[in-house]
Chains A and B, each alone.
Chain A
Amino acid sequence: MSSTSNAPTGNNRVRIVVATSVMLTFISYWRAAAVILNDLGSSAFYAGGIAEQAIGKSAPWFVLGVMLFAFAVRAVYVESCSMFVRGGVYRVVKEALGGTLAKLSVSALMFDYILTGPVSGVSAGQYIAGLINDTIAIADARGWVPAAIHRMFHGTPQVGVNATAVVFAVAVTLYFWWQNVKGIEESSEKALWVMQITTVMVVMLLGWSFFTLLKVGGHLPPFPTLANIHYSQESLGFWKHSQLPHMFGILGLIIGFGHSVLAMSGEESLAQVYRELAHPKLKNLKRTAIVIGVYSFVFTGIVSLLAVMLIPDDVRVKVYSDNLIAGLAMYMVGPEVVRLAFRAFVVVVGFLILSGAVNTAIVGSNGVLNRVSEDGVLADWFRRPHKKYGTTYRIINLIVGLQLFTIIVSWGNIYTLGEAYAFGVVWSFVFKTISMLVLRYRYKGERNWKVPPNLHLFGVEIPIGLASVGMVLLSTAIVNLFTKSVATESGLIFSIIFFAIFTFSERVNRRKHADHAAQMTEQFQLQLAESVERETVGIRAGNILVPVRDYNTLNHLKWVLERTDTREQDVVVMTARISQFGTAAYGLSTEQVFSDYEQTLFTRAVSVAESFGKRISLLVVPARDPWSAVAQTAHNLESSTVVGGLSSKITAAEQAFALGSAWEAIPEPKQQFLLQIVQTGGIVDTFRVGPHTPTMKNEDVVLLHRLWLNVTREPGLENIHHHDIVTEALTRFAHDYGSGDHEDIVTQLRRHGTEAGPLPVRRIADQVPTVQPGPRSDRDEEHHDDRSPNPPAGSK
């Protein structure tokens, strides 16, 4: 019998198994690259325009230089991931330079993350406003705009570009705020789909641009020399009245490089997806790095270059600096209507990828703040879950509040936003690279790969490659402090405020956490386990798994305990500690997996079990996705049934579909199980997850029987069984489905599907008849009849 229970252990404490590894659904390097490119690739829509506004026509060379240098920065990330599975900025800096500088680096990273939202939302709005205005202008030029409207607007009707961008950015931010409060799940599938569409656009853009160059010719932008760098008023910041930038050629290069560095924002995502990469991890990480490197070099770098070559000087900065790719589409060879249609396609793709980046900004910021709050450097108040959705809504509110503030204060000025953005990007890289240098000497653990080249002199390793990357980043970051006054002022204010909040919260929390730890030690005994195994939890196969999240809704646990003899069948209460992309990148300590929230949750669960006088086993599982966590845990524990409460967001059938999909992702061999969703009032929906004998309609059973009767009348077929007929029918079906009758079969099945309810649920988890509340004794009888843990009435 299990020793893991709410029954007192030797010292009156309840034992809880805490899995320390996040349960992840591993993804291929293509999907990982798509997730990163959704952030990194979005900068192609604005980086070139911002750089040219700052330093003139030679800007594309700097953007190309930044994209080339990004390969070297990526190498730093590969090395950090080869040391720590979660090798993001916070972990690496904390390991190398301690908590104070880690907090400072996270403040800079937060500035980067938070600004990703406004800069992407505003950029998408600029593209949309630009398309609306140009379409109206073209229509007006053809006389399609009525004279009355023309008179009303005193000319061609136009929307305010910045105002439209602000409205759009606010709307998109609010949309994703609500989605995140509700707890949407990120999907690599969606990211892959967006990148597939983006790739179609990039291929068309490049092909058409090169064709245009062949037809009409073009000139390369002027090479980046001091004479060719034309600083704008804003681009010199505190050096606006100084002669220094005009005196030193290489300083000019650093200034230009610094104004283009925002093009490589998004590299941090590489460390965050590493945790979820499929085996062989390091090799796949390198492949991911190559894919995103080549893609962003071509997309952001080459497209910036082509824009300068094809869009005439007099309109490029004046009209298209904020929507450069749209401008490129308008200056291809071909009929105007086709160019306008392609521009609309560019805007749609821009909308998809930039909106995705707005979401990434909220998710990433939430992940990082969750992580640091779990480490005790942000007050627990922020992590209190939403009553209905269970999300860390206060952190999300804080992030979105800051983003909305930024959007409104900037009033759609993409240049100002982009300039400020670079502060967070470059300083988080600086902290990371310096920390990696320190770790070359301090870190003695496993390291599977190093940034080359490395010299060995007198037994001492000199990391030339790593130091070189650090020198470029540090010199750029320092020069940026002088030339980007908006970034320096806003970045420093933001970082100092965040740093102060972190430091103050940490002090307040230290004492509180000490009390909490003492209290927890008195009540619970935590048993850490790398992975979830039946033996570790100490339970028998065929157990019932009860996922819980909200301590106010434990009715399904009561329902299970009411009907289960725990001496015969174990009940495991599990909660999944959800880690998003951001948090999955960091190490998890016991306190992070088992916080005061889990303590309260399990205290309530134990109290429920005690009220029934029954034993339960307790389990905490960190996971990226709750459905994967439940499916994998049920698989690992060999559970026969999973009993959950009804979600506040989706229906029971949708819950079954989600769990069924997660089950499909588990590698073979795997066994099926029952899923029971307990609704208010004791109504229970039961589904079978995994392949199983289908629930057959009466008329089908009758038809099968008639066929069997007819067939057995044939000479020599007297010994045929019902299942032989099913086998023959299925074999013929498989043959016809793969041949010319495919379409007919699909049409017929669609008709059946429409008649019988939502198809996805039926495909993965067949529903069996709904259980209505009934007398307990009946259910006990059914239990014995069906040899099933909690079989509902009529279940087959």
Chain B
Amino acid sequence: MSVSVLLIKILEVMFVAGWAGSAFVLVLTGIEDIGTLLDRKDEDSH
């Protein structure tokens, strides 16, 4: 396996693993965002 192929494999693993982890970020922050949107007690409308 050449160095460039190895580098590409590493980048691919990083990208896929990164996206998998980012999916958790999106789901968890999304749930929190819904809570933030529903909580309107401090909201100002200016």
Name which residue of chain A comes closest to B36, CB basis.
A286
Q: In the bound complex, do residue B44 and residue A475 qualify as a contact, i.e. CB atoms below 8 Å apart?
A: no
Q: In the bound complex, do residue B42 and residue A469 qualify as a contact, i.e. CB atoms below 8 Å apart?
A: no
Q: A72-B25, A75-B29, A469-B25 are in contact. Are A479 and B11 (CB under 8 A)?
A: yes
Q: Tell whether A601 is near chain B: CB-to-CB under 8 Å.
A: no
Q: In the bound complex, do residue A468 and residue B8 qualify as a contact, i.e. CB atoms below 8 Å apart?
A: no
Q: How many angstroms from the CA of A71 to the CA of B43 in the assembled complex?
A: 22
Which residues between 13 and 34 of chain B lie within 8 Å of chain A, taking CB atoms? 14-22, 24-26, 28-30, 32-33
Q: Contacts of A452 on B, CB cut-off 8 Å?
A: 24-25, 28-29, 32
CB distance from A285 to the nearest CB of B (A): 10
Q: In the bound complex, do residue A468 and residue B19 qualify as a contact, i.e. CB atoms below 8 Å apart?
A: yes
Q: In the bound complex, do residue B24 and residue A453 qualify as a contact, i.e. CB atoms below 8 Å apart?
A: yes
Residues 466-480 of chain A, each 1 if its beta carbon lies under 8 Å from chain B, else 0: 011111111110110
Q: In the bound complex, do residue A290 and residue B33 qualify as a contact, i.e. CB atoms below 8 Å apart?
A: yes
Q: In the bound complex, do residue B4 and residue A244 qualify as a contact, i.e. CB atoms below 8 Å apart?
A: yes
Q: Tell whether A451 is near chain B: CB-to-CB under 8 Å.
A: yes
Q: Tell whether B1 is near chain A: CB-to-CB under 8 Å.
A: no
Name which residue of chain B comes closest to A192, CB basis.
B46
Q: Tell whether A248 is near chain B: CB-to-CB under 8 Å.
A: yes
Name which residue of chain B comes closest to A71, CB basis.
B26
Name which residue of chain A comes closest to B24, CB basis.
A453
Name which residue of chain B comes closest to A478, CB basis.
B11
Q: Contacts of A28 on B, CB cut-off 8 Å?
A: 44-46
Residues 194-227 of chain A, each 1 if its beta carbon lies under 8 Å from chain B, else 0: 0000000000000000000000000000000000
Q: Contacts of A470 on B, CB cut-off 8 Å?
A: 18
Task: Identify B30's interface contact among A71, A248, A453, CB under 8 A.
Answer: A71
Q: Tell whether A465 is near chain B: CB-to-CB under 8 Å.
A: yes
On chain B, the number of residues with a Cβ less than 8 Å from chain A's Cβ atoms is 30
Of B18, B36, B45, chain A has the most CB atoms within 10 Å of the CB of B18
Q: A68-B26, A452-B24, A468-B25 are in contact. Are A250 and B33 (CB under 8 A)?
A: no
CB distance from B2 to the nearest CB of A (A): 10
Q: Contacts of B18 on A, CB cut-off 8 Å?
A: 467-473, 475
Task: Identify B33's interface contact among A27, A244, A286, A475, CB under 8 A.
Answer: A286
On chain A, the number of residues with a Cβ less than 8 Å from chain B's Cβ atoms is 42
Q: Tell whether A295 is near chain B: CB-to-CB under 8 Å.
A: no
Q: In the bound complex, do residue B22 and residue A468 qualify as a contact, i.e. CB atoms below 8 Å apart?
A: yes
Q: A28-B46, A71-B30, A283-B36 are in contact. Are A475 and B22 (CB under 8 A)?
A: no
Q: Contacts of B30 on A, CB cut-off 8 Å?
A: 71
CB distance from A561 to the nearest CB of B (A): 41
Q: Tell whether A137 is near chain B: CB-to-CB under 8 Å.
A: no
Q: Contacts of B5 on A, CB cut-off 8 Å?
A: 244
Q: How many angstroms from the CA of A497 to the CA of B22 in the assembled complex?
A: 34
Q: How many angstroms from the CA of A640 to the CA of B30 in the assembled complex?
A: 51
Q: How many angstroms from the CA of A162 to the CA of B11 in the assembled complex?
A: 37
Q: In the bound complex, do residue B20 and residue A468 qualify as a contact, i.e. CB atoms below 8 Å apart?
A: yes
Q: In the bound complex, do residue B36 and residue A465 qualify as a contact, i.e. CB atoms below 8 Å apart?
A: no
Q: Contacts of B21 on A, CB cut-off 8 Å?
A: 464-465, 467-469, 471
Q: How many angstroms from the CA of A475 to the CA of B18 in the assembled complex?
A: 9
Q: In the bound complex, do residue B22 and residue A469 qualify as a contact, i.e. CB atoms below 8 Å apart?
A: yes
Q: In the bound complex, do residue B36 and residue A476 qualify as a contact, i.e. CB atoms below 8 Å apart?
A: no
Q: In the bound complex, do residue A290 and residue B20 qualify as a contact, i.e. CB atoms below 8 Å apart?
A: no
Task: Identify B14's interface contact among A30, A244, A287, A475, CB under 8 A.
Answer: A475
Q: A75-B29, A280-B42, A287-B37 are in contact. Are A253 and B24 (CB under 8 A)?
A: no
CB distance from B30 to the nearest CB of A (A): 7
Q: In the bound complex, do residue A75 and residue B11 qualify as a contact, i.e. CB atoms below 8 Å apart?
A: no
Q: How many angstroms from the CA of A345 to the CA of B41 in the assembled complex?
A: 38
CB distance from A260 to the nearest CB of B (A): 14
Q: Contacts of B8 on A, CB cut-off 8 Å?
A: 244, 248, 251
Q: Contacts of A103 on B, CB cut-off 8 Å?
A: none
Q: Tell whether A298 is near chain B: CB-to-CB under 8 Å.
A: no
CB distance from B24 to the nearest CB of A (A): 5
Q: How many angstroms from the CA of A97 to the CA of B25 in the assembled complex?
A: 25
Q: How many angstroms from the CA of A18 to the CA of B15 in the assembled complex?
A: 48
Task: Identify A287's interface contact among B4, B19, B24, B36, CB under 8 A.
Answer: B36
Q: In the bound complex, do residue A71 and residue B29 qualify as a contact, i.e. CB atoms below 8 Å apart?
A: yes
Q: In the bound complex, do residue A451 and residue B14 qualify as a contact, i.e. CB atoms below 8 Å apart?
A: no
Q: How many angstroms from the CA of A474 to the CA of B20 in the assembled complex?
A: 15
Q: Tell whether A408 is near chain B: CB-to-CB under 8 Å.
A: no
CB distance from B10 to the nearest CB of A (A): 8
Q: How many angstroms from the CA of A508 to the CA of B29 in the assembled complex?
A: 46
Q: Contacts of A69 on B, CB cut-off 8 Å?
A: 19, 22
Q: How many angstroms from the CA of A27 to the CA of B32 in the assembled complex?
A: 23
Name which residue of chain A comes closest to B20, CB basis.
A468
CB distance from B46 to the nearest CB of A (A): 5
Q: In the bound complex, do residue B11 and residue A278 qualify as a contact, i.e. CB atoms below 8 Å apart?
A: no
CB distance from B45 to the nearest CB of A (A): 7
Q: Contacts of A31 on B, CB cut-off 8 Å?
A: 46
Q: A250-B16, A290-B37 are in contact. Are A283 and B25 (CB under 8 A)?
A: no
Q: How many angstroms from the CA of A473 to the CA of B37 in the assembled complex?
A: 28
Task: Identify B11's interface contact among A254, A467, A469, CB under 8 A.
Answer: A254
Of B19, B37, B39, chain A has the most CB atoms within 10 Å of the CB of B19
Q: Contacts of A251 on B, CB cut-off 8 Å?
A: 8, 11-12
Q: How many angstroms from the CA of A286 to the CA of B33 in the assembled complex?
A: 7
Name which residue of chain B comes closest to A476, CB basis.
B15
Q: In the bound complex, do residue A468 and residue B24 qualify as a contact, i.e. CB atoms below 8 Å apart?
A: yes
Q: How many angstroms from the CA of A280 to the CA of B4 in the assembled complex?
A: 50
Task: Identify A283's interface contact among B11, B19, B42, CB under 8 A.
Answer: B42
Q: Contacts of B37 on A, CB cut-off 8 Å?
A: 287, 290
What 14 new A-B contacts, CB under 8 Å, besides A244-B8, A467-B18, A469-B22? Answer: A28-B46, A30-B45, A30-B46, A250-B12, A250-B15, A251-B8, A283-B36, A287-B36, A287-B37, A467-B21, A468-B18, A468-B25, A469-B18, A471-B14
15 pairs, CB–CB < 8 Å, chain A vs chain B: A71-B29, A248-B12, A251-B8, A287-B36, A452-B28, A452-B32, A453-B24, A453-B25, A464-B21, A465-B28, A468-B24, A469-B21, A469-B25, A471-B18, A472-B14
9 closest Cβ pairs, A-B complex: A468-B21, A471-B18, A472-B18, A250-B12, A452-B28, A465-B25, A475-B14, A471-B14, A475-B15
- B residues whose Cβ falls under 8 Å from a Cβ of A: 4-5, 8, 11-12, 14-22, 24-26, 28-30, 32-33, 36-37, 39, 42-46
